[in-house]
Structure 1
Amino acid sequence: MDAALVVGVPASGLPAEEAAFEGRLPVEWEMLNQPVGSIEDAFTATIGPNLGEINWASLAWPDVPEAELHGESEHAEVTLLFNTRTRELDEPADDHTVLVHVRRVNIDGRQRREPYAHWLAAQVGLTVIGPAQRC
């Protein structure tokens, strides 16, 4: 297969030889409006040990009155990083990282921990394990 003709080819039909991609990497691909759960397994299999990311944008965090959280959509994203720790893909890792994008909260001039990140992690039985990253 001619590497110049890979547009529109299913991942399983891409060339296996690394040389076919020389000068064509990194690849950026955008798929809009895909439901959660529809591409993750195929992407994970395709990416293998390479670096990559899936980003879900245009989300909305819900109102959580009992936690004094007000709905948020401006800073509501989730990014799944494959084999890296940063969105710049410059810190390789042997596992994956989930970034939850939330607004920082300032109360009385002091920055507080990102309450939505902690609340969201708790909803799936997890906790925030890393420090906040500034974008």
Structure 2
Amino acid sequence: MSNDIAYPVFRSPDPALALRTARRLAEFGRCEYTRVSAYAEFPSVTEVRGVAKELPAGWFRGQEAYGEFDGVPLGDCPPLVVGVQGPDLPADPAAYEGRLPLEWELLAQPVGSIEDTFTAAIGTSRGEINWDTLCWPDAPEAGFQGESKHAEVTLLFNTADRDLDEPADDHTVLLHVRSVLVDGRQVREPYARWLAHQLDLTVIGPGQRC
């Protein structure tokens, strides 16, 4: 089993510029199997309803207290806890009490189908767009073979942290490669730097592992 590591290669307070940069990098590795997904955490009902209007196919899931539904059959749990798509969100504001922030995701969509709408809809909430199943090219002059399993690009909104834990006033583009540790050193980091350089980008911070 192998894992990835993601290096920040661009950061900007302008979400549209960050999206253009992430797209340019994703296009560099795009292949016929490439898909795009998005995920966010929305802290208010207003924001939830806003993104549901723009991207109704996405799935929402509310928070639950620890042990709140232990032993409760899945069919007896509130739909908002189990997960609902935009058109099935509760109309009653009381249904959201204790459930915020709501998690939202839309997975494995065609490239170009959701990125602009999501970027416009996310506002100040934290979230990400991820392009996966890319195909990074060989770099023979640098001594690296290409890869696809861990070839991804992620655009983080309003955070620089893959876990979305820390808020930020800007947006960060991450370039993913395979994580290979030898004597505590990431031996694929030079490959990430080479990939970034092909698009006039550079690694601007330490790699992040999930």
TM-score, normalization: structure 1?
A: 0.74
Tell me by how many angstroms 1:24 deviates: 5.4
Cα gap change, 1:70 to 1:12, in 2 (>3 Å): closer
Equivalent AA in structure 1 for residue 139 of structure 2: V
Task: Read off the aligned partner of 1:11 and give its amino acid letter.
Answer: E
Within the alignment, does 1:68 sit opposite 2:111 as a pair? Answer: no
More helix by share: 2
Q: Determine whether 1:119 maps to 2:194.
A: yes
Q: Percent same amino acid at aligned positions? A: 57
C-alpha spacing 1:12/1:73, structure 2 compared with 1 (3 Å): closer
Which residue of the partner structure matches residue 56 of structure 1? 131
Distance 1:42 1:110 in 2: 41
Give the aligned partner of residue 110 of structure 2.
34
Which range is displaced more, 43-52 or 114-123?
Answer: 114-123
Superposed CA deviations along residues 86-119 of structure 1, whole A, max 9, x for unmatched, are 1211010011111211123456x46236123212
More strand by share: 2
Question: Cα RMSD over matched residues?
Answer: 3.0
CA distance in 2, matches of 1:44, 1:21: 27
Q: Are the structure 2 counterparts of residues 52 and 106 from structure 1 closer, same or farther at C-alpha, using a change threshold of 3 Å?
A: closer
* Mean Cα deviation higher: 43-52 or 67-76: 67-76
Aligned residues: 124
8 Å contact from structure 2 (residues 134, 151) kept in 1? yes
Partner Cα distance (1:12, 1:33) in 2: 12
Show structure 1 runs of 5+ residues with no match. Answer: none
Q: Per-residue deviation at 1:74? A: 2.1
2:54 aligned with 1:11: yes
Asked whether the 8 Å contact 2:159–2:167 carries over to 1, the reply is: yes
- Structure 2 CA distance for partners of 1:116 and 1:34, relative to 1, 3 Å: farther
Matched, 1:25 2:101: yes
What is the TM-score when the length of structure 2 is the normalising length? 0.50
User: Secondary structure at the residue paired with 2:108?
Assistant: coil
The answer to which structure, 1 or 2, has the higher relative contact order (CA under 8 A, 6+ apart) is 2
1:133, distance to aligned residue in structure 2 (A): 1.6
